[in-house]
Amino acid sequence: MEIWNEEEIKEMWRIFFRGETEGQRKYGPLIREAADSFPQTASISVYFTDIVEFNRDFSEYVLESPRWAISLGEQAMKDFMHVDRKVQLIMHIIDIPPAMAREDIRNIRASHLDRLVSIEALVRRVTEVRPRVTVAVFKCRRCETPINILQSRKDFEEPLFCPKDQGGCGRAASATRFTLLKRESTFIDTQSIDVQEFPEGLRGGAQPQRLTVYVEGDLTDSVFPGDRVVFNGILQSRQLRDRGNTKSTLFEKFLECRGINRSEEDYEEILITPEEEKLFRTVSQAEGVLSKIASSIAPTIQGMKEEKLALALQLFGGVRKETPDGFLRGDMHILMVGDPGTAKSQLLNYIQKISPRGVMTTGKSATAAGLTAAAVPDEHEKGRWNLEAGALVLADMGTVCIDEIDKMTTHDRSSMHEAMEQQRVTITKAGIQATLQSRCAVLGAANPKMGRFTGHSESLVDEINMPPTLLDRFDMIFTIQDIPDRAKDDKLAAHVLKTHRYGEIKRYREVAPYGRYGKDDVELASENIEPDYDRDFLKKYIAYAKKHVFPVMTEESMDRIREYYVGIRSGSREDVVTCTARQLEGLIRFSEACAKAHLSDEVRLEHVEVAIGLIGYYLEKEASLEMGGIDRITSSMVHSQRASVFTIQRVIRDLQAEVEDYGKTGVPVEEIIRQSEIENITKDVVLITLSKLNQLGDIYRTGPNKYKTVDTT
């Protein structure tokens, strides 16, 4: 690497700012404009790609000695300012090519210290903006001479003596005292940001590595928890202290940020080339593209055609609309409830990996703070707290997958209500009141209460350990039962065996590439296993659709949706409702998602028909009129159960009034069952209803197998 002295470096910057190409000639006018509007504009952003184009050796020198090179560049900028506007501007370095300086947080080593590095990370915590002194002005108490001390980030430095060369008295700090003059000192805004690796890029069992980033000036208050940002800066270190406050040989690393590349649009971090965009447009016009996308989701899982189609549309999402009253969400929420071994967790893992911003968690390990935001102590100020983003915030504009959602506690589960419907998280804790964005789709998986579906209960709430208020927020709920069927079982077994054989041959080829199995064997074994579109292609395709496609419903589509909704509602009775406006909005969202999957600017009739088929499948399977309608999902009791409740309550009250002992000690369960059977209520229904009434507090147990109503003394 070529070495330049101070004047040579300044001259290189002057030539660069003067500009030999059109891309470089912009800097001179920008510097003058910034200087004229100072302090409203206090910085200039320099594209590192322009420096590379200007002089490759000089760009490498900036990477190796950034502090020295950038400080001289800031001095050279003054030569391009008007004579009466010589101010100190800050230089920000942005757009560093990943191949030159991009490093993963876990791969940062001592060799990177004092070099310019670029890291792409997830923002977890952001402190408030605080002033930091850069030049401290002190006054000697003896002679009142002002003394300027340049401050570094590490420790606050005070004068050791009053310097005579600055007109001072020459006394040491022990013979005089120094007072900090805050008004004469120079301060700059600063902020501390905790970042971590992307969760989807971690190896199994690895904990995400973290790093502290310090930003200053107009870089403060530009990123928020959940953002995915590229930070360019100088890697620094500071010495740690042991428990006895003695200096340690260990040092802590941090990044002094000198530039931020932050996308103004979502999914900008996924680079899509013009060739790929052209390919996407071609694929979107192909016949059966949506079916191919759905079948490419978890291809090793056999069947589940409708469920995979719903998950594919969930990835694309609908259109978020601004209204005079606020907004209407475009994301769809899906819940899968199934018997053990029905591949629910495998589906969730695949969706998390394919979603451009996917976060995976489990109900057993998730808390309310882990889902929304946690309050953590401030490292600089005792008694102050900062917010650290949880899963629902980190998955903003993406998908959060929650496995075993039924295992969450009632308190932790209640934190999801606002995030799912309002798509925001309101935090009021540790003296902090804040609102964080959680514009994400929720994909949940749960098991039935008794391990498997019993089939005895008319209400889905009885089968799942989740309240109706939360179930009602899901646009679609799939129940997946493991029912023996010889034809299906034979097909499933063949698919599973073929999948395992394919994996075995691939592993064998890795160990013995010239053994008995060749490439032809791999291709033969991969039939019906390899998806139409691989995971990377789908991830980019979905990101492109979510970023560029915002379809609008045609008049024909609106008429079809209205006709379908009114038609299915007309089949309702006064006591049984087949669907509500929530299902209507879900139908609209799925129609929009279908249009986005085809990269269409319009929601056409064929897109609506796909959504109607999916919604119809869901309502017919889970909320048909015979099953009790939508109350089966959104209420703890369907109409028939409510009728049984009223009857059993009346039976208990009548028996208490007729038999004096029953009024005092309670009515035996056997007698309640006998009288209820006369009313055509079976024993199983009586036992379930008694348990519910006891939980609700309408009746209470007075002894072994005896109940009394609350309103009877």
Token pair in block for residue 709: 């109503």
**% the chain with pLDDT above 70:** 88
SS3 603: strand
Tell whether the model's pLDDT for residue 213 goes beyond 80: yes
Residue ranges per domain, the chain?
6-95, 105-261, 639-709
**For 408-454, what is each residue's pLDDT tens digit?**
887 777 878 888 888 888 877 767 777 778 888 999 988 887 777 76
Please provide the average confidence, as pLDDT, over all residues in the chain: 82
Bigger pLDDT: 554 vs 41: 554
Whether 359 contacts 398, CB under 8 Å = yes
Question: Reduced to 3 DSSP states, what percent helix, strand and coil does the chain have, rounded to the nearest 5?
Answer: 40, 20, 35
Q: What is the mean pLDDT of residues 93-111?
A: 88
Q: What is the mean pLDDT of residues 188-214?
A: 78
Which region among 213-217, 377-381, 417-421, 668-672 has the lowest average model confidence (pLDDT)? 377-381
Token pair in block for residue 515: 């053994």
Kindly report whether the global pTM for this prediction surpasses the value 0.75. Answer: no
pLDDT score recorded for residue 405: 86
Q: What is the mean pLDDT of residues 177-186?
A: 89
Grade residue 201 by pLDDT with cuts at 50, 70 and 90: low
If you write DSSP's letter for every residue of 111-170 in order, what string do you get? GGTTSEEEEEEEEEEEPPPEEEEEEEEEEETTT--EEEEE--SSS----SB--GGGT---
Q: What is the mean pLDDT of residues 553-572?
A: 88
pLDDT score recorded for residue 92: 93
Neighbours of 81 (CB within 10 A): 19
Tell whether the model's pLDDT for residue 689 goes beyond 60: yes
| Sheet of 441-446, strand order | 358-362, 399-403, 441-446, 334-338, 476-480
d(CA 392, CA 407): 17
- The 8-class DSSP code of residue 208 comes to P
CATH number for 6-95: choose from 3.40.50.300, 3.30.70.240, 3.30.1640.10, 1.10.287.1260: 3.30.1640.10
pLDDT score recorded for residue 713: 45
Q: What is the mean pLDDT of residues 324-334?
A: 85
Which region among 226-235, 487-496, 649-658, 695-704 has the lowest average model confidence (pLDDT)? 695-704
Q: Helix H segments across 355-485?
A: 368-371, 391-394, 410-414, 416-421, 460-463, 468-471
User: Rounded to the nearest 5 degrees, what angle is found at the Cα of 465, between the Cα atoms of 459 and 470?
Assistant: 80
Tell whether the model's pLDDT for residue 264 goes beyond 60: no
**Overall fold of domain 639-709:** Arc Repressor Mutant, subunit A (1.10.10)
Tell whether the model's pLDDT for residue 499 goes beyond 70: yes
Grade residue 557 by pLDDT with cuts at 50, 70 and 90: very high
pLDDT score recorded for residue 464: 78
CA-wise closest residue to 575 among 501, 623, 642, 517: 642
Contacts of 125 (CB under 8 A, 6+ apart): 193, 194, 225, 376, 386, 387, 388, 389
Tell whether the model's pLDDT for residue 572 goes beyond 90: no
**Max CA pair span of the chain:** 109
Class of domain 105-261: mainly beta
pLDDT score recorded for residue 205: 52
pLDDT score recorded for residue 627: 54
pLDDT score recorded for residue 690: 77
Is the link from the previous residue into 39 a cis peptide, with omega within 30 of 0? yes
Bigger pLDDT: 65 vs 581: 65
Tell whether the model's pLDDT for residue 612 goes beyond 60: yes
Tell whether the model's pLDDT for residue 206 goes beyond 70: no
d(CA 618, CA 621): 5
d(CA 85, CA 38): 9
pLDDT score recorded for residue 595: 94
d(CA 295, CA 530): 10
CA-wise closest residue to 279 among 637, 552, 533, 563: 533
Residue 698 carries which side chain, given as an amino acid letter?
D
Q: What is the mean pLDDT of residues 146-153?
A: 83
Q: Locate tokens 């006064």: which residue?
A: 574
pLDDT score recorded for residue 309: 92
pLDDT score recorded for residue 267: 47
Q: What is the mean pLDDT of residues 38-62?
A: 89
Tell whether the model's pLDDT for residue 263 goes beyond 70: no
pLDDT score recorded for residue 381: 61
**For 354-381, what is each residue's pLDDT tens digit?**
887 778 888 777 777 778 877 777 666 6
**CB-based burial label for 588 (10 Å; 0-12, 13-18, 19+):** buried
pLDDT score recorded for residue 590: 94
